[in-house]
Chains A and B, each alone.
Chain A
Amino acid sequence: MQSKQKFILTGVTFGAAGMMASPALAQTMDVTITIPRLTVAEYHKPYVALWIEQAGKPARTINVWYDTGKKNNAGIKWLRDMRQWWRTVGRTTPTPPNGVTGATRAPGAAKISFTSGKGGMPVLTAGAYTLVVEAAREGGGREVVKVPFTVSAAGTAKGSGKGSFELGAVSLTVRR
């Protein structure tokens, strides 16, 4: 039973009970993350990890922003500075796959869309989830913002949260 549930969460099955897998009804999650503008002498854009938690299921990384421009991909050395992400899910895949990684982003509001079943993004069946966003900045602080949300039977949801120093407002919309 456990393995079947896991399989459903990966979202690559066809015809699993209770799932709407039709590509025409592709589920999308839009996430807006605000990186605050900080007046510090030496500013480095933060590493940011986004993952989805659901009770009783393995956490799923959907996006990791890190310094992708370093020689030999050396930027992955500091992924563990996102300590909650590293402990929860990051260390199971120390080199995150291409589909979930991205470059660090400048201060401001970043809007990202995730399509269920693509990259690390699972299909979200009806139920309670938490989007966790963790930011770690070199020479700065680290902050985790949790955004709980409930996906309806129609496969939609809304949620928001707010950080106080390394992260600003975080909001999400799940739509079909």
Chain B
Amino acid sequence: MLKSRKSLLLLAAGAALALSPVAQARQWLLPSETMFTGAGNEWLTVDAANSTDLYYYDHPGQAWDAVVTAPDGSVIPVENRMVGKLRQVFDVPIAQGGTYKISVTNDMVMGSYMLAGEKKMLPRGTTPANLAAAIPAGATDVQTAEANNRIETFVTAGEPTTSVFTAGGKGIEMIPVTHPNDLAVGEEATFQFMLDGKPAAGIDVVAIPGGIRYRADIKQMDAKTDAEGKVSFTWPEAGMYWVSASIGGRRGGGEGAGGPPPATPPQPEAPQRRASYAMTVEVQG
């Protein structure tokens, strides 16, 4: 189903919720090439950015630490990393045959506690690692929820391999049924989404082709994962696509925007678990 940007805006404007009418920025990793010859001496360059339009640079550059996993499971250090005003750029040597994963993960903890009769919020930048230190002695009624963000892209030298696709971590992960470097116009591709290592059933997944700036229709495709966490898209045109899934937060819960308000409003004290996933994949024409 295609959804136009106009109708999205109207939907947002008409919603009686405190939905921001400004679209939330999208986070992405954009590879210079997804299919390498496999000669052993090739280079990949990647743009990493947070932007409203795909794939343009219109938000402050992010100092993300990308992890590159090679087909043999080793982690390859990135080279020439540059965090600019609007984007980050880095290079990756492609020396092995097979599929590489480039990913950025960010795990945060949100929440609050009571101290001496006063409610205190956990500071920004709290992570599972420093959570214990962020809660002072004597704090009570500690309420926390994790927010796990993951951004990925994949490139392949020679034949595609599947060694880099593993699930078992936190947040949302993608396990391919169709290899992300084996996508073509008019063909159906299926991906399985996992939440905390288990199939993520019934979550919303969107796919949007790049080049938003020069078209009127956002051409967003919407889908929902089945009981096994699987979702399928048939690509209408060639190009780079941004495929994203999330729970919690403004992008999550597609019914929140238009559906009836919940019978009992969420308790402000209970922070909402959030997780998001976004990958850039290339569809061949």
Give the docked Cα–Cα distance between A66 and B285 (Å). 21
Decide: A87 near B284, CB < 8 A? Known: A92-B159, A94-B158: yes
**Interface residue? B39 (CB, 8 A):** yes
Cβ B158 vs Cβ A91 within 8 A: yes
Q: How far is the CB of B186 from chain A (nearest CB, A)?
A: 12
**Interface residue? B206 (CB, 8 A):** no
**Interface residue? B37 (CB, 8 A):** yes
Give the docked Cα–Cα distance between A84 and B39 (Å). 19
Query: Which residues of the partner chain B approach A84 to less than 8 Å between Cβ atoms?
Result: 184, 284-285
Cβ B159 vs Cβ A86 within 8 A: no
Residues of B268-285 whose CB lies within 8 A of A: 284-285
Decide: A94 near B37, CB < 8 A? Known: A83-B284, A84-B284, A87-B284: yes
Cβ A91 vs Cβ B184 within 8 A: no
Decide: A87 near B182, CB < 8 A? Known: A77-B39, A80-B36, A80-B37: yes
Partner of B184, one of A77, A80, A87: A87
Q: How far is the CB of A76 from chain B (nearest CB, A)?
A: 7
**Interface residue? A79 (CB, 8 A):** yes
Q: How far is the CB of A82 from chain B (nearest CB, A)?
A: 11
**Interface residue? B35 (CB, 8 A):** yes
Query: Which residues of the partner chain A approach B158 to less than 8 Å between Cβ atoms?
Result: 91, 94
Chain A-chain B contacts (Cβ-Cβ < 8 Å), number: 30
Give the dominant DSSP class at B's interface: loop
Partner of B35, one of A76, A77, A86, A92: A86
Residues 168-205 of chain B, each 1 if its beta carbon lies under 8 Å from chain A, else 0: 00000000000000101000000000000000000000
Partner of A87, one of B35, B36, B38, B39: B35
Q: How far is the CB of A130 from chain B (nearest CB, A)?
A: 14
Give the docked Cα–Cα distance between A76 and B38 (Å). 10
For B182, the closest partner residue in chain A by CB is A87
For B41, the closest partner residue in chain A by CB is A77
Decide: A91 near B38, CB < 8 A? Known: A83-B284, A84-B184, A84-B284: yes
Query: Which residues of the partner chain B approach A91 to less than 8 Å between Cβ atoms?
Result: 35, 38, 156, 158-160
Query: Which residues of the partner chain A approach B182 to less than 8 Å between Cβ atoms?
Result: 87
For B181, the closest partner residue in chain A by CB is A87
For B42, the closest partner residue in chain A by CB is A77
For B183, the closest partner residue in chain A by CB is A87
Give the docked Cα–Cα distance between A87 and B156 (Å). 10
Residues 56-87 of chain A, each 1 if its beta carbon lies under 8 Å from chain B, else 0: 00000000000000000000110110011011
Residues of B30-49 whose CB lies within 8 A of A: 35-39
Query: Which residues of the partner chain B approach A83 to less than 8 Å between Cβ atoms?
Result: 35, 284-285
Q: How far is the CB of B185 from chain A (nearest CB, A)?
A: 10
Query: Which residues of the partner chain A approach B285 to less than 8 Å between Cβ atoms?
Result: 83-84
Give the docked Cα–Cα distance between A94 and B158 (Å). 6
Name the residue in B158, B159, B285 with the highest tally of chain A Cβ atoms < 10 Å from its Cβ. B158
Cβ A94 vs Cβ B284 within 8 A: no
Query: Which residues of the partner chain A approach B160 to less than 8 Å between Cβ atoms?
Result: 91
Cβ B284 vs Cβ A77 within 8 A: no
Give the docked Cα–Cα distance between A87 and B33 (Å). 13
Give the docked Cα–Cα distance between A84 and B184 (Å). 8
Give the docked Cα–Cα distance between A91 and B155 (Å). 13
Cβ B37 vs Cβ A76 within 8 A: yes
Give the docked Cα–Cα distance between A80 and B158 (Å). 9
Q: List 13 A-B contacts (CB under 8 A).
A: A80-B35, A80-B37, A83-B35, A83-B284, A83-B285, A87-B35, A91-B38, A91-B156, A91-B158, A91-B159, A94-B37, A94-B38, A94-B158
Known: A80-B35, A91-B38. 7 other contacts (CB 8 A): A79-B37, A84-B285, A86-B35, A91-B158, A91-B159, A94-B37, A94-B158
Using CB atoms and an 8 Å cutoff, list the residues of chain B in contact with chain A: 35-39, 156, 158-160, 182, 184, 284-285
Closest 9 CB pairs of A and B: A94-B38, A94-B158, A87-B284, A83-B284, A80-B35, A91-B158, A80-B37, A91-B159, A77-B37
